[in-house]
Amino acid sequence: MRALWLCWALGALGLAGRGAAVTEEQVLGSLLRQLQLSEPPALGQQDAGRPVPPAHVRAQYVALLQRGHGVPSRGKRFSQNFREVAGRFLVSEASTHLLVFGMERRLPPNSELVQAELRLLQEPVPPAALRQHQRLAPRSDLARVSIEWLQVRADGSNRTALVDSRLVSVHESGWKAFDVTEAVSFWQQLSRPREPLLLRVSVQREHLGPLASSAHRLVRFAARGPAEGAQGEPQLELHTLDLGHFGAQGNCDPEAPVTEGTRCCRRETYIDLQGVTWAQNWVLEPPGFLAYECVGTCPQPPAALAARWPFLGPRQCVASETAPLPMIVSVQEGGRARARVVSLPDMRVQTCSCASDGAPVPRRLEP
């Protein structure tokens, strides 16, 4: 599952260097992709005619501008603090368990989630049951354990998302760890601190088909209550980073030069489209825009902490939130120049943050 997280990281923000200033070439490339063109139109002043955008086109353009300020595209960051949350089995059947974790005030303020790890205690299989299984189904001793995030909507319907899945052996026992960072990220996106975190644990066959092994029937996880001791309760380990020390500082001081000691911040960068040859007589709005860029350095966590995530590189100053750039362009339709609105994604940096190289970008929840 960790490999999948790293794959998601490859789909991170399209800005050069994940925080470097956007260039005129990037604006042009994005605009060509939006209009499905191979090169900008060679329009002269007379050919273009510079159409005046009608009211409905300008209204659409303004609406996109306002929406871009309110709905940024989020990235991800990564831990110093550690908290463990005990959960309980809300529903437990032969192959499915529903876990509930109270999350209110579990994540420190002004902190960033690094990793959330679910720990389940796998019970040993009785020797007699294991011998019978090996006699009847000797092909495989593995079962697949899948972890899903679950949300119960107000209308009673459910929304689920697979967050981790791995194979376990019937010969093993003890604590098993699953990465549920994305599930906690989903819970955070709901912005409902009093709503618990629900996780569904499913134990399934390793393979499908009539000849598939029945090893999944032997995999059991402890669900001990207070009367039996809490040692076997499912545990949710939350690792967070104190942004007061390891985060970015916001916008750069325009009066101070950026040096090696400058803490990660957002610096103004203006793209002047009026002075660009390819934009003349093609881009009607805007004449230019503030793109911003992320500059400076980030404090690195202690070596003992960094050792917990060896797959992550050093923390870098990157764009964690971006906004699209709406444009009004002139297009030729039916031999006439008409105004059209397009939106170029990830053109304006909204927020700069410190993130580890290779950190995943979590999926955003759809409405």
CATH code at position 33 = 2.10.90.10
Same domain, 13 and 67: yes
What is the token pair recorded at 155? 């209308």
Q: Can you tell me the mean pLDDT for 337-350? A: 87
Q: Can you tell me the mean pLDDT for 79-108? A: 64
Same domain, 73 and 85: no
The one-letter amino acid code at 225 reads G
Q: At 90, phi and psi to the nearest 5? A: -75, -45
- What proportion of the chain, given as a percentage, has pLDDT over 90? 16
Q: Residue 176: which CATH number?
A: 2.60.120.970
List of residues 6+ apart from 273 with CB closer than 8 A: 24, 27, 279, 283, 286, 287, 288, 289
Number of separate domains in the chain: 2
C-alpha to C-alpha distance for 178 and 323, rounded to whole angstroms:
33
- Report the pLDDT value the prediction gives residue 332, as an integer from 0 to 100: 78
Name the band, by pLDDT with cuts 50, 70 and 90, for residue 6: very low
Domain-embedded: residue 293: yes
Same domain, 91 and 230: yes
Q: pLDDT tens-digit profile of 292-330?
A: 899 999 988 777 767 776 666 788 898 888 889 898 888
Q: pLDDT tens-digit profile of 175-221?
A: 999 999 999 999 999 888 889 999 999 988 877 655 566 777 888 88
- Report the pLDDT value the prediction gives residue 226, as an integer from 0 to 100: 45
Domain-embedded: residue 130: yes
Domain-embedded: residue 361: no
Residue ending a domain, among 182, 213, 241, is: 241
Same domain, 145 and 161: yes
Same domain, 85 and 160: yes
C-alpha to C-alpha distance for 7 and 3, rounded to whole angstroms:
6
Same domain, 200 and 285: no
Residue ending a domain, among 241, 270, 296, is: 241
Domain-embedded: residue 366: no
Residue ending a domain, among 210, 241, 272, is: 241
Paired with 162 in beta bridges are 148
Decide if pLDDT at 87 tops 70: no
Same domain, 91 and 236: yes
Same domain, 166 and 94: yes
Domain-embedded: residue 363: no
Domain-embedded: residue 6: yes
Q: Omega of the bond prior to 286 within 30 degrees of 0, cis?
A: yes
Strands 293-295 and 96-101: unpaired
Same domain, 148 and 125: yes
Name the band, by pLDDT with cuts 50, 70 and 90, for residue 356: confident
Q: At 313, phi and psi to the nearest 5? A: -90, -170
Q: Which domain holds residue 97?
A: 81-241
Decide if pLDDT at 140 tops 50: yes
C-alpha to C-alpha distance for 144 and 166, rounded to whole angstroms:
6
Same domain, 145 and 34: no
List of residues 6+ apart from 301 with CB closer than 8 A: 79, 80, 241, 246, 315
Lowest mean pLDDT among 59-73, 130-144, 146-160, 208-222: 59-73
What is the token pair recorded at 200? 């569904």
Same domain, 71 and 116: no
Within 13 A of 287's CA, how many CA atoms are on the CB side? Answer: 2
Decide if pLDDT at 159 tops 70: yes
Q: Omega of the bond prior to 108 within 30 degrees of 0, cis?
A: no
Q: Which of 43-57, 168-182, 277-291, 350-364 has the highest mean pLDDT?
A: 168-182
Lowest mean pLDDT among 163-172, 178-187, 231-240, 342-351: 231-240
What is the token pair recorded at 137? 């189904």
What is the token pair recorded at 104? 């209110």
Strands 111-122 and 270-272: unpaired
Please report, to the nearest 10 degrees, the dihedral formed by the alpha carbons of residues 238, 244, 245, 248 taken in order.
100
Domain-embedded: residue 144: yes
Domain-embedded: residue 252: yes
Give the residue from 95, 187, 120 showing the smallest Cα distance to 149.
187
Same domain, 277 and 332: yes
